[in-house]
Amino acid sequence: MALSSTPQLPVLPLPFPLVLLPTARLTIHVSRELAEKLQAVLHDSGSSQPIVATIPIPPPTDPSNTTNFTPPPSTHTTGPVHGTAARVVRLVPVRALSASVSARQPYILSLHGLTRIRLAQPLDLDSQMADSLTERTVHHPPADQVPSREAAEAFKDAALRLLDRLAKDSVHSQRKDDWLRISVILEDVPDHRSAWMADVLVAAINCDYTDKLTFLATTTVEDRLRRATELFVKQASISEVPQKIANVVDESLSRQQKEYFLRQQLAAIQRELQSLYTANNASPGSPSGSPGLKIGGSSSEPDDDEQADADDLADLKKKIEALEAGSEERRVSIREWRRLKRIPQGSVENGVIRTYLEWLTSLPWPSATLSPSANQEIVKNPGFLAKARAQLDADHFGLDQIKGRLIEYLAVLRLRSMVEAASQASVSQQPMSQPTAKLAQCPDQNCARKGVKGPVLLFVGPPGTGKTSLGQSIAKALGRPFQRISLGGVRDEAEIRGHRRTYVASGPGMIVQALRKAGRIDPVILLDEIDKVGQSNFHGDPAAALLEVLDPEQNHAFNDHYINVPVDLSRVLFICTSNTLDSISAPLLDRCEVVELSGYTYDEKIHIARRYLLPKQLTANGLSESLLDLTDDALLRIATLYTREAGVRGLERALSTIVRFKAVERVNHLDSLAGTERSDAAPKEWQSRVEGEDVERMLGVPRWDSEEREREEKIGVVYGLVVTGMGEGGIMPVESTAVPGTGRLKLTGSLGDVIKESGEIALSWVKAHAFDLGITASKGIDPLKVPDPIDIHLHLPSGAQKKDGPSAGVAMTCALVSLLTGVTASKDMAMTGEITLRGRVTPVGGVRMKVLGAHRAKVYRIVLPWANKRDVEREVALEVQQQMQFHFVQTIDEALEAAFGKGVLGWKRDVMLMEGRL
């Protein structure tokens, strides 16, 4: 059959990635339907080897395609048109050759490419195209084209170079001989047969799918040879890469570097891949990758050591240049940079200097905050204070005193920003010379570094009262980064000031590290557990190192031993937390503004449990709010009988226990529902409500119920108010008893010197007023020796806890009076206050904590010094004041009357207390 006499040919689509070039052979599996259509064509043509038009079908171009396929320009908007006229050489069933073949394609089709063709109309791409064999009008390229001499010579040179490289890289000798034989044939090919030889070679080498389609679509002989030349040059370059890598590695090897051979080879491979990817991106017409190489868009960053090192040094240099001109940090950075360039890269000193420069340039220096920041815009917002107050109220319940102090600071911050903005606007509106304008904008040399000094707040209170979480809320309200530094157990001064650079593995202190993590000069830094910092030892005194950090007059030039450049801490808002003030040194305490968090009342605990703790535990344990209804009575029983504490951590643990208990019940309920569905029994209703009587079933025996039952009215026993070492208030019985002896006073209970002196003063006052109290028959008689000599033993329980402080005088006096007179004090009354030998009651500290402790213990009558009346009115919540009865006394006589009742003691005469005044 002559090609010129066949204007129409059956079109056979070739699926991706099959391409049949002229002179090439292709064997594929076809379906039964397609094989039947080919047999029909064979029968109609009357020839044993009919001719069909093979058209490669490109893959669909979607974003998720990972084949890096770029279609030829002719198929961007239309279907494929270019193909090859091929002769059907063989069509046989597969079962004649092999028994293991898919049932979908039971035939094998062998094709032999003859010449290029072009469809008159683009081929439609649809799902039924794979098994179709429709006839289409085709056009053949002119057959009498002769390439130019220059194009033919360039083609032969590129082809010979590629064949020589393929022969050298061939492992098998037979394959090598084949490439050499083709080289000999190529040298004798005439110019008019060069296009035919190009088809042969392109079909033989492993090219890209896109390259083959582009080569197939090239109809003119001149363009075909030029395109084949480009493909051969590209393939030769790819084949030369392994040899080039081997040469580079061989040149870099030395006797000391042989153990790094594999690493050097891998680095060379990565560099070649990177250069190849860069070259492909630089040329728009170049393909996106080479066959067989999966670059993935970039080289591996961790393996490119040299490039990464150069980039780090360039970035470090940019950071040094960005520092403020003339500043101390810039001068030191430039000096260290020059040292770094003189020291060899492999030296240990090189790494030390480089690490120092990285630390120095990564800190937020004042020059970086000269321009208006987003935080300044937040402060200038008219609703700034309202938003900050809402943020504090949303995160914490109560704590009005602390919130008021923070709102004061935020108000000052807003006013300062408004004044600065107004001054800058007035200066910009007045025309003046440049030196005058600079003087008006910056009258002080360091005015750019000045700002609103952050206060140093010290939150003192028991554990679980929200001291640490308050710092996070403050940072949110200010829009600043938050950093927490735990000082518990810090014993080395260098952890605050940093180690000097002369030490191995030295580094900056925790303050500078927090500044670097924050990335800003005005973060909120929380110094947690400042009362537990180590004392002075051979490592230095960490508490003394904190003096410079927390002093507003000194911390604008804080000196870290590692950085050795003054660091500005004046804009940092420092918040310290502590459980007690006893272990904090006086100079350090003087630099802090103390804010006490005494604890929560029962009402506040119930609100906190409702708003924060219970929803948190429900979410953590997989329950919804509709599955658990905790009544107020149940919450009150939990707070009073199981978690009598100042904070809410114990309350949260108790709520967690109840939620987990209900979670177990919920799982059992769901399992029972599944069982009733199978047995058709009535399902049991879910009980979501937890009443007060259900709490003991979930939490066990109440922890504090026994203490209330054991509290009784007994001779010689009264109850005093105390503050524990963790800052929690509570009550403690003061017990006294008389034993035969010689008239001595014995004090036990791990008492300190101060509280022992209070006991001696109380006994001396009782002896002095023994006749007035009706203890002795006449004046001048020692009640401990007449009528029978006795000793008085005064004891404060919980001997494992050390007790000290000037606030137990009133309680000890009442205990001794009760013992010697036989009158009992009420078990619902507690007292505190110090006494003098003249019978005056002096004020004490920790009133709010003591009152709340008594409230938690359900003691509602309290005896307090008269001078502490203002403390109660100012610090104690109004609802607590309304529930309790306070007796404010000035003398011991008033205290005894309040403790035992009016007229109970039966004074023998009214004693008028006279004071001498000059």
Residues labelled catalytic: 807, 850
> DSSP letter string over 644-682?
-SSSSHHHHHHHHHHHHHHHHHHHHHHHHHHHHHHHTPP
- Residue 241 to residue 263: CA distance in whole angstroms: 17
Q: In sequence order, what E strands does 3-106 have?
A: 8-14, 25-30, 51-56, 82-93
- Percent helix, strand, coil in the chain (nearest 5)? 50, 15, 40
Structure-token pair, residue 545: 């190192």
Q: Provide the CA 61 distance to its chain's centre, in angstroms.
A: 40
Q: Which residue has the tokens 């006394």?
A: 889
- The Cβ-side half-sphere exposure at 908, using a 13 Å CA radius, reads 11
Contacts of 697 (CB under 8 A, 6+ apart): none
- The alpha carbons of the chain give a radius of gyration, in whole angstroms, of 47
- Residue 39 to residue 354: CA distance in whole angstroms: 78
- Residue 602 to residue 853: CA distance in whole angstroms: 11
In the chain, the N- to C-terminal Cα span, in Å, equals: 144
Contacts of 465 (CB under 8 A, 6+ apart): 597, 598, 599, 600, 646, 647, 648
Looking only at the bridges linking them, the beta strands covering 829-831 and 861-865 are parallel
What are the distances in angstroms from CA 75 to CA 61, 80, 704, 848? 11, 6, 86, 85
The phi, psi pair for 163, rounded to 5°, reads -65, -35
Q: What number of helices (H) and strands (E) belong to the chain?
A: 31, 22
CA torsion, ordered 232, 238, 243, 244, to nearest 10 deg:
110
- Residue 610 to residue 616: CA distance in whole angstroms: 10
Nearest by Cα to 182 from 163, 199, 196: 163
Q: Residue 595, SS3?
A: strand
Report yes or no: 235 and 207 within 8 Å, Cβ to Cβ: yes
Compute how many other C-beta atoms are within 10 angstroms of the C-beta atom of residue 199: 21
Q: Which residues, listed in sequence order, are joined to residue 874 by a DSSP beta bridge?
A: none
Q: Provide the CA 885 distance to its chain's centre, in angstroms.
A: 49
What are the distances in angstroms from CA 850 to CA 329, 579, 846? 52, 15, 6
**For the chain, how long is the longest CA-to-CA vector?**
153
Report yes or no: 213 and 76 within 8 Å, Cβ to Cβ: no
- Residue 235 to residue 239: CA distance in whole angstroms: 6
- Residue 118 to residue 529: CA distance in whole angstroms: 84
Q: Which residues, listed in sequence order, are joined to residue 540 by a DSSP beta bridge?
A: 537
Structure-token pair, residue 859: 């003691």
Structure-token pair, residue 678: 């199978």
Question: Quick one: DSSP state of residue 684?
Answer: P
Q: Please, is 240 exposed, middle or buried when counting C-beta atoms within 10 Å of its C-beta (0-12, 13-18, 19+)?
A: middle
The phi, psi pair for 834, rounded to 5°, reads -105, 155
